[in-house]
Amino acid sequence: MRMRGAATLAVLSLLLAGCTAGGAEPGAEPSQSATTPTGPSEPSEPSPTKADDESFSPGLDPDDPSLDVALSRPVEDRVYPDVGDPGVDALHYQLDLTWTAKSEQLEGVETLTFRATRDARQFQLDFGRSLRVKSLSLDGEEARFRERGKDLVVTAPVRADQRYTLQLHYDGTPRPVAAPTTRSDFSTIGWQITDDAETWTMQEPFGAYSWYAVNDQPSDKALYDFTLSTRSPWVGVANGKLRSRDEEAGSTVTEWHLDEPAASYLVTVAFGDFTMTRDRSKGGVPLTYWTPRGDERSLRSVRVARDELGWIEDRLGPYPFSSLGFLVVDSDSGMETQTMITLGDTDYTLSGAVVVHEMVHQWYGDQVTPRDWRDVWMNEGMAMYLQLLWESQEFGFPINQTLAGWTAEDQRLRSSAGPPASYDPSTFGEGNIYYLPALMWHQLREQLGGRQFWRLAKAWPRSRDNGNAGYEDITAWWSQKTGRNLRPMFDRWLLSRQSPPAA
Ligand SMILES: [Zn+2]
């Protein structure tokens, strides 16, 4: 995600501008008690369903080896433990979504292929409380379930390492959920509906569950296919490649395929009056820009991606996915949604700096993803650092002045939001996880020299392609590759409540 602020020119004010709080709802999503999938309880309010033969399709073969790329080792999140279920390893989500703007109704047919990670009598997914399940089946048989707060609990026995197909029909008007942050550019996360009944999503660190049933925790990456329907000339846009687009009885139907697994916070779907423009980066990556019809300004802005992508590839290596798109929506923020970056329609979020920032995340955040929210610094530190280097080159100012400004704010950030890798859960996404690890990477670059630093900065995401990593992994990897014990340095920057001593 981008850090808010007029970062490019106001060098010293970047930090302060970025951290201005206000207008946001503080506090996390009201907590829901986590369920224990192995628990003995029967549903208190059983909701048996009638499986409708016509409405359930067999879906994918769960044992298809092409799904193996999405095998994960899901964990319980240490920062937001109320979201996600480590008993579920989602492999593939097929989401058939129809948006009716007039009534603001979403109708969904979801087919989830997953692996159970343990023997259990029940399992659960995160699922928005404003949505209603109309029917649900497991491997083609109707199954019992209950909706408890934001948890959809399916009461059916599952065996460790067996794969299953869960299918559900649901509808409702999705409501976003409160964001655990004090930032001013977003206060709710998940599905958003504009005044014109267009829709878009941003959902970091969670909130995908506001519009589909999902294991909404970053350690569980999965493959996605989408079929999106809405009244023409509006169109539905999602991650991955556009496979088809048809007009049927006044509706636009698009099919999207994401061919590498993504964490749920990196999924995007929008319905609206978008125009698509095709492009290609100098390195040959196919690009698409989805901008509001007639909005030449936003199209001109996002087109800088064509050249900027090459600038990033010079530092981080070849772009890690098979396509890249940009989706411009009515937001104040920007989000690195995998292969289809979602950008708010503001001067700053459409600036070259933010476009660079979100593209860097395709390597740092999307190709390799934090195992849980404790380590979101792994994403933001490198994105912020490369953003600064790009701005410095583009606008011709030295980085040292900016770095000094960040250093001057270090202690205040640690004191207000916590150390970058041990932050206060109610202050998600504050300056501490951006500027402090960026300073750390700069110091490490000075120590190692640019050649070794960039060689390793390039090698790390590739070494965890389509995977997840945590604090122990990345600190051990950098130590091993440099032949130095870097753990004390990482700890000092990322875990200490005191600013590190000047280098
Ligand atoms: Zn970011």
At residue 240, the pLDDT reads: 98
Between the alpha carbon of residue 47 and those of residues 35, 36, 153, 213, the distances in Å are 18, 19, 11, 17
- Measured in angstroms, how far is the CA atom of residue 283 from the centroid of ligand 1? 23
Taking the C-alpha atoms of residue 75 and residue 86, their distance in angstroms, rounded to an integer, is 5
Task: Encode 30-52: b = buried (16+ Cβ within 10 Å), e = exposed.
Answer: eeeeebebeeeeeeeeeeebebe
- Measured in angstroms, how far is the CA atom of residue 136 from the centroid of ligand 1? 37
- Measured in angstroms, how far is the CA atom of residue 345 from the centroid of ligand 1? 17
pLDDT (mean) for 170-174: 98
The percent of residues in the chain predicted with pLDDT above 90, rounded, is 86
- Measured in angstroms, how far is the CA atom of residue 340 from the centroid of ligand 1? 14
- Measured in angstroms, how far is the CA atom of residue 357 from the centroid of ligand 1? 6
- Measured in angstroms, how far is the CA atom of residue 383 from the centroid of ligand 1? 6
At residue 45, the pLDDT reads: 37
- Measured in angstroms, how far is the CA atom of residue 429 from the centroid of ligand 1? 9
- Measured in angstroms, how far is the CA atom of residue 48 from the centroid of ligand 1? 43
Query: Tokens for 360?
Result: 């860097």
At residue 32, the pLDDT reads: 31
Q: Which residue did the predictor score with more confidence, 30 or 498?
A: 498
Q: With 70 as the cut, is the pLDDT of residue 17 above it?
A: no
Query: Tokens for 203?
Result: 């959902």
**Comparing 53-62, 384-393, 421-430, which segment has the lowest mean pLDDT?**
53-62
Q: With 90 as the cut, is the pLDDT of residue 26 above it?
A: no
Q: Decide: 156 and 143 in contact? Cβ < 8 Å.
A: yes
Q: With 90 as the cut, is the pLDDT of residue 12 above it?
A: no
Q: With 90 as the cut, is the pLDDT of residue 38 above it?
A: no
Q: Which residue did the predictor score with more confidence, 35 or 86?
A: 86
- Measured in angstroms, how far is the CA atom of residue 307 from the centroid of ligand 1? 20
Taking the C-alpha atoms of residue 273 and residue 298, their distance in angstroms, rounded to an integer, is 14
- Measured in angstroms, how far is the CA atom of residue 365 from the centroid of ligand 1? 9
Taking the C-alpha atoms of residue 77 and residue 470, their distance in angstroms, rounded to an integer, is 12
Query: Tokens for 270?
Result: 């929008």
- 73 three-state secondary structure: coil
Query: Tokens for 334?
Result: 């920007």
Between the alpha carbon of residue 120 and those of residues 51, 81, 85, 125, 162, the distances in Å are 23, 19, 12, 14, 11
For 252-290, what is the HEC assignment?
A: EEEEEEEEEEECHHHCCEEEECEEEEEEECCCCCEEEEE
Surface-to-core class of residue 167, CB atoms within 10 Å of its CB (0-12 exposed, 13-18 middle, 19+ buried): buried
Model pLDDT for residues 90-117, shown as the tens digit of each residue: 999 999 999 999 999 999 999 999 999 9
At residue 1, the pLDDT reads: 81
- Measured in angstroms, how far is the CA atom of residue 366 from the centroid of ligand 1? 11
Query: Tokens for 14?
Result: 């970047």
Q: Which residue, 172, 160, 247, 266, is CA-closest to 211? A: 172
Q: With 90 as the cut, is the pLDDT of residue 123 above it?
A: yes
Taking the C-alpha atoms of residue 168 and residue 165, their distance in angstroms, rounded to an integer, is 10
- Measured in angstroms, how far is the CA atom of residue 393 from the centroid of ligand 1? 20
Of the pLDDT bands very low, low, confident and very high (cuts 50, 70, 90), residue 4 is: low
Model pLDDT for residues 272-324, shown as the tens digit of each residue: 999 999 999 999 999 999 999 999 999 999 999 999 999 999 999 999 999 99
Task: Collect all residues with Cβ–Cβ distance below 8 Å to 34 and sequence separation of at least 6.
Answer: 81, 82
Neighbours of ion ligand 1 (CB under 5 A): 1, 380, 383
Taking the C-alpha atoms of residue 176 and residue 189, their distance in angstroms, rounded to an integer, is 5
Q: With 80 as the cut, is the pLDDT of residue 36 above it?
A: no
- Measured in angstroms, how far is the CA atom of residue 380 from the centroid of ligand 1? 5
Model pLDDT for residues 65-89, shown as the tens digit of each residue: 999 999 999 999 999 999 999 999 9
Q: With 90 as the cut, is the pLDDT of residue 24 above it?
A: no
At residue 195, the pLDDT reads: 97
Q: C-alpha angle with apex 287: 262 to 390, nearest 5 degrees?
A: 85
pLDDT (mean) for 329-341: 97
